[in-house]
Structures are given as C-alpha cells and as structure tokens.
Amino acid sequence: MTDHEQTEGAETPSDEELLKQVEEELKKLKVSDLLVQMLYTMSSLGYRKLSEQDRDLEQAKLAIDTLSAVLPVLEGVVGDDVMRDFKQVTANLQLAYAEAAKGPV
C-alpha cells in the first residue's frame, strides 16, 4: 500500500473533533508556560531589532519594556533559573539598546 492509498483511507477529523482536540490541549496549557514562551520570542525579536540589518530602536525598546513589565508577574511562579536567565537577557538587551542608540561611532 502506498502513502497515497493510506492517506485516502484515513478519515479527516470533523470540525467538532478538532475543537475537542484544541480544548484538550488548552486544558493542559498553563498561562505561565505561554508567558515564558512569549518572553523568549520577545527577547529574540528585541535582539533582532537591535541588529544593524533590522535596526528599529522603537520596537527594540518595546520588547525591553515588555520583558521588564512581565517578569515581575512570573516571580515565584516559574523556576529561579528561568527568572535569572530572563533578567540577564533583559539587562543585556538594555545594554545593547544603549549602545545602538548612541549611533555610529
């Protein structure tokens, strides 16, 4: 049996089944997990906006401000190592922002 034949025989889940799957996943998801993922994405984007090729200081500052605002909310909710890492990332971003804001030397 080919892959194509197997695919043809497989039933496509209904909208109701897909909705149930999404609801089950949402039950497992924790807000703190989502916030940590968001902070990781935010820090990556902040660094990207500080790079010479994609420099956008306004967006970089927004990323830094977001990290600074959300981190206190996670205090005591996530592990100390996670907090320490994001605090260090935030400090590094602030230093990189200050350097980029100076402009070309």
User: What is residue 86's predicted lDDT score, i.e. its pLDDT?
Assistant: 97
Neighbours of 97 (CB within 10 A): 18
pTM: 0.75
State residue 22's pLDDT score.
Answer: 83
Residue 13 has a pLDDT of: 83
pLDDT tens string 74-104 = 999 999 999 999 999 999 999 999 999 998 7
pLDDT tens, position by position, 23-82 = 888 888 899 999 999 999 999 999 999 999 999 999 999 999 999 999 999 999 999 999
Helix ranges (H only) for 29-105 are 31-50, 57-74, 80-102
